[in-house]
Amino acid sequence: MSDAPTTTTDDVLEGVDLSGRTALVTGATTGIGKETARALAAAGASVVVTARSDDKGEAAVLELAAAVPDADLSYEVLELASLDSVRAMADRFATAHDRLDLLVANAGIMAVPFGHTDDGFELHLGTNHLGHFVLVGRLLPLLVQSAPARIVLLSSGGHAASDIRWDDPNFERTAYTKMEAYGQSKTANVLHAVELERRYGALGVHAYAVHPGMVSTDLGRHFTREDYEELKERAKAAPSGGLPPRVGVDVGAATSVWAAVATELDERGGTYLADCALAEARPYAVDPEAARRLWVLSEELVGESFPEPTAT
């Protein structure tokens, strides 16, 4: 087991000026998302955070403004488990803003009991991938218009728990397990970055998938003792030989911020990152053909197409 990483968001952003840039960070009322928003705002970006309610959004903006007094901060209500909410929020954002330089798809759920989104998708897949798939898809024109721009998708080392379940992504015919469901959604995040890069990299919009590490947040609030034991057993069987050490949100969010701003990543779009460095995902999570296949499957599931841009 390796030593805990120590690079923080402030370390990454030292000397970086994001004045004039607009950033959208989903799920930024707590944890890594909130720290990502704070760090980007402290570097001068105009930051829009998303929250699941007005109360949470207002509270997050007040707390962020207290941490970064001169920041340009606002919020949008977004429920990723409802495509109606996703579409409405994306349309509001595109109408209200003339640019989007950084989109950090941070919001997510982990190890929740079996359930469905408003549109009938398994909760992890629907929330962690399909909701963001539609949000990103609808905001791509604004990102292209603002290029160079970046999309950062929060994945996890937990993607090792499952490939895409191509024949039964919503666990309609097979037994549900929390870690496989979470793992599938996190694999989807990596594949989404791969295909976004293939489609939009040449237009100056680069995408990255990020593993934040084991971070002390409320993401694991649904974990039971049995879930944690299963996680430890899976980790023992992995090449790392065990769970990584826990880190604080300032370290956990550092790779998201690095993915958003690091100039050394300009030519490395579509990659999987961890500990502020290039990292190795499972082969199935970075397979270009699987990435194309997932895009098509996602379009079929959400009933909306995002055509490949035509060469100019």
* pLDDT < 50 regions, the chain: 1
Tokens of 183: 């793992």
- What letter represents residue 237's amino acid? A
Residues 31-87 have pLDDT tens digits of: 999 999 999 999 999 999 999 999 999 999 999 999 999 999 999 999 999 999 999
pLDDT value for 217 = 54
Domain 16-302 belongs to what architecture?
A: 3-Layer(aba) Sandwich (3.40)
pLDDT value for 68 = 98
Tokens of 210: 């990020």
pLDDT value for 1 = 39
Q: How far apart are CA 72 and CA 292, in angstroms?
A: 37
Can you point out the beta strands (E) in the chain? Answer: 22-25, 46-51, 73-77, 102-105, 149-154, 205-211, 214-215, 246-247, 272-274, 277-278
pLDDT value for 310 = 80
Model pTM score: 0.91
pLDDT value for 311 = 61
Task: Please state the φ and ψ torsions of residue 234, each to the nearest 5 degrees.
Answer: -60, -40
Beta bridge partners of 75: 49
pLDDT value for 163 = 98
Q: DSSP string of 224-255?
A: -HHHHHHHHHHHHHSTT-SPPPEE-HHHHTHH
**Residue position matching structure tokens 């402290």:** 42
Task: Please state the φ and ψ torsions of residue 77, each to the nearest 5 degrees.
Answer: -80, 130
Q: How far apart are CA 151 and CA 162, in angstroms?
A: 23
CB-CB contact of 193 with 295 (8 Å): no
Q: How far apart are CA 169 and CA 147, in angstroms?
A: 34
Q: Which of 75, 182, 200, 272 is catalytic?
A: 182
Is 208 marked active-site? no
Strands 272-274 and 205-211: parallel
CB-CB contact of 107 with 79 (8 Å): no
What residue segments make up the domains of the chain, in order of their start? Answer: 16-302
Rg (CA), the chain: 18
Query: Which 3 state secondary structure label does DSSP give 297?
Result: helix
Q: How far apart are CA 26 and CA 45, in angstroms?
A: 15
- What letter represents residue 51's amino acid? A
Query: Which one, of 163, 141, 154, lies nearest residue 93 by Cα?
Result: 141
CB-CB contact of 129 with 190 (8 Å): no
Tokens of 25: 């960070």
